[in-house]
Structure 1
Amino acid sequence: MATIIYSLKQYKSKRKPVEGLLLLFLYLLFSTSCGRNDETQSNRVSEAPMLALKKTFSIPIDSVTSNVVAAYDYLNSNKGEYFTFLNRNNNSIYYFNLNTQKYDKVRKFENQGPNGVGDFNTTTRYMLKGDSVIFYDRQYMRLVIVNDDNDVVSKFNFKEVKESPYGRLGDWMILEQDGSFNFSTSAVRLSYVEVIDLPDSLEMTYNPRTQEYGKAYLPLPAIYLNKKWITEHLFYHRAHSEKDQRSVYSFPVDENIYYKGSDGVLKSKYMGSDKLNSIESMPSMELAMDFEKKLKYYFVQGRYDHLYYDPYRDIYLRFALSPLNENKFDMNDPMADTSAYDQMIILADNELNKIGEFQNDMSMALTVFFRQDGIYIMRRAENEDELIFDVYDLEN
């Protein structure tokens, strides 16, 4: 069985650091920013089948673009095949042609006026659907849809209703066959919570034509019940297969993944890793009030992370982070030293049976997309003027 090894030299980001410790924590936590690497990293296999590294792929970026991509979408249309990403510094979406390896356009959007979509920020997400772009700003709970001419054709403010989309992780918005949207939502609005009753729904639906909204059945797993948790342990990832019209769910503390069967009942299957032990609930509410203790509590335990569905290989990928070495814990940059933890990519087939694990500590789980020729996973790069993707495929 082949093992592929590559190394990266130690480096330190030249970009201006994020101001404020809390903002820095959130930035690192959900964007997995570039960091230092003191040891050779490897792609190691724990079970067959494995992912084989085919090539690396580079996308150049300009001086106003960050090499940490928080909002992106892959587009395959009759005009070409694109990796698109949002740039909050100039309220634009960049269209990089994956075939010609050149930018075809930079699409700028107004922030004010009748066709204003607001200022892009770290909470802004978007999705390309046909000739439309669907924006959701999590901070202001605002959904905006524009057409091919950037004219606003629909706008809805979820502050006016009791429920609002969360719009952060995985397939946060799914377009239903009736034209309505299914959104992921959050289990809690506070920074911590004691789960006494499992919420009956972590999803909501919204129809932009009728402006009707409602809940869709998805409770928290029973593993959360009668325990105290910080908010970060309650976020979930969702992967949707349009072919099967099936959504699959991954929760940070649960080794199982969940899916809705044809009867609408929520079912589970094992998709865990031996690299993770049981994740302990929060011992006291006082811990949540101490930022340093909360940060350490979260990172040293590890977690299950992003979940993706690959429509070309008909498989699921679930990222998992082992507990972080407590002696190497750096409060100012917890994920910088990649020798302090293991990052696993767990594979499952279409029936959601686990088929293998693959380790790459340099992967950036936030940015992954799929093409016919491979699985594109962004990795940490020392050059701040490009985005680097490792391209994998299932080994024959």
Structure 2
Amino acid sequence: MKSILNCSTSLLLILIISTGCQSRSTIDNYIEPELTHTLKKIGEYEIPVDSMTATNFLHYQYLEEDGIEYFTMLNSIKQEINLYNINRKELAFTIPLSFEGPNGIGNLEGFNSGYFIHNLDSIFILNRTRRQLFLVNGESELINSFDSFRDTSLPSAVIAPFAPMLLHDNEAILLNIQNGMKYGGRNKSYRSDYAMKVGLENRDYNYFLSYPDVFTKGTWGFDLHRISWAFDKESERIAVSYPLDHNIYLIDFDGNLIESIPARSEVIIDAESISKSQLKSKTGASEYYFSQGKYGKIHYDPIRKIYLRDCIPGLSLDKQKAGVTKLDRRLVILDKDMKKTGEVKTSSDMRLNLFFGREGIHQHVPTANEDMLKFELYDYVSINK
């Protein structure tokens, strides 16, 4: 038995309020607050890996279990989850994931199939190709599976660093990938099912979340529709970030809007619609995407109680053709009250992979060395410190 919330009052509220917050006058009247904090590099470290471990990982998660901090990642070469002891800087153990058989979860190839470790006895695996969510234990034994994702007329769920899963009140809360819309034309409206809640006992599933009104003003292609979110479990709220929107939207775990907050950077200039010639060109869509300023992943650090929003400026076509990759990329920092306290430059020109441990903010640093995972460690400090 399934129940679908096609359009709730809260969703309409999100759209109405976001329309007001995105008016041109609001953007032009934005006043940058005084910045009081920054990120200070306090160290770096490396973790050795073997030749059968992919260092260009897509899926990862920080985990603390029994007082031990782990960096976990999905090793695509062997389809296993590797758990590294951060303190010892070494591989602790692996959790192999079967392709077939009684514990099989299929092939996890692709960007949007991922995992969420609730604890070492409850590990959720999303196979987006099969549209199934699996629950396995630390011995890789299949405990349960959920097939409610198989309705192909609806957006399908994703678990990824930009869209982590949350477990709350025996429900799985997941973001859905951006389908069910036009990429080569303007969408006059959007559906209200870009997130979902799945009952792990009753197997009911409800849908919520739509796009703010700024998205109805142009044609944006596929990638500029990618939503990111982050959870504050203590306050029971979700921070939702859209690539084209200067605001962050706080919603509760039922999808009700709490407030919208300006969280912008000067390096993000309002995007322009993709042209018809770019849509027809083989390289036009990717050139357009890289040329537009956009907001990427949003993170929440539950230890320092701050939000970090990735801000990626556009790269002109001339610079793309010249092979330029260096960007003036920023991280906007907001405190627990959603006040902007800092904006820092980041050295990353690739995927910005962050996780948050007791010792600080960890940033993965891609290198040519395939035998090591390298990380830099940062602390959130007062500017005058």
Taking structure 1 as the reference length, the TM-score comes to 0.81
Conserved 8 A contact 2:238-2:252: no
Aligned equivalent of 2:143, options 117, 129, 153? 153
CA pair 266-279 structure 1, distance change in 2 beyond 3 A: farther
Amino acid at match of 2:115: Y
Measure, in 2, the Cα distance between the counterparts of 1:366 and 1:88.
19
Q: Percent identity?
A: 25
Amino acid at match of 2:355: F
Aligned equivalent of 1:369, options 351, 355, 377? 355
- Cα offsets for 1:17-74 (capped at 9, x unmatched): xxxxxxxxxxxxxxxxxxxxxxxxxxxxx95411100011212221122221211111
Aligned equivalent of 1:321, options 312, 327, 350? 312
CA pair 171-226 structure 1, distance change in 2 beyond 3 A: closer
Q: Which has the larger displacement, 270-279 or 116-125?
A: 116-125
- Specify the alignment match of 2:78 in structure 1: 90
Conserved 8 A contact 2:184-2:219: yes
Aligned equivalent of 2:196, options 204, 218, 223? 204
Conserved 8 A contact 1:364-1:377: no
CA pair 321-86 structure 1, distance change in 2 beyond 3 A: same
- Specify the alignment match of 1:305 in structure 2: 296
Aligned equivalent of 2:114, options 125, 144, 163? 125
Q: Which runs of 5+ in 2 are unaligned?
A: 1-33
- Specify the alignment match of 1:194 in structure 2: 186
Measure, in 2, the Cα distance between the counterparts of 1:261 and 1:176.
12
- Specify the alignment match of 1:100 in structure 2: 88
CA RMSD of aligned residues (A): 2.2
Conserved 8 A contact 2:291-2:317: yes
Taking structure 2 as the reference length, the TM-score comes to 0.83
Measure, in 2, the Cα distance between the counterparts of 1:251 and 1:242.
21
Measure, in 1, the Cα distance between the counterparts of 2:158 and 2:129.
9
Conserved 8 A contact 2:103-2:141: yes
For 1:298, what is the secondary structure of its paired residue?
Answer: helix
Measure, in 1, the Cα distance between the counterparts of 2:238 and 2:67.
29
Alignment of 1:1-396 (within 5 A): 47-78=35-66, 80-123=68-111, 124-130=113-119, 131-157=121-147, 158-160=149-151, 162-163=153-154, 164-177=156-169, 179-189=170-180, 191-216=183-208, 218-260=209-251, 264-265=256-257, 267-284=259-276, 287-330=278-321, 337-339=324-326, 341-362=327-348, 364-395=350-381, 396=385
For 1:195, what is the secondary structure of its paired residue?
Answer: coil
Q: Which runs of 5+ in 1 are unaligned?
A: 1-45
For 2:42, what is the secondary structure of its paired residue?
Answer: strand
Give, in angstroms, the shift of residue 261 of structure 1. 6.1
- Cα offsets for 1:255-303 (capped at 9, x unmatched): 111112699235311111101111112233x532423111111101221
Amino acid at match of 2:122: S
Give, in angstroms, the shift of residue 109 of structure 1. 2.0
Measure, in 1, the Cα distance between the counterparts of 2:211 and 2:165.
19
Conserved 8 A contact 1:169-1:236: no
- How many residues align? The count is 343
- Specify the alignment match of 2:31 in structure 1: none
Conserved 8 A contact 1:56-1:389: yes
- Specify the alignment match of 1:8 in structure 2: none
Conserved 8 A contact 1:141-1:159: yes
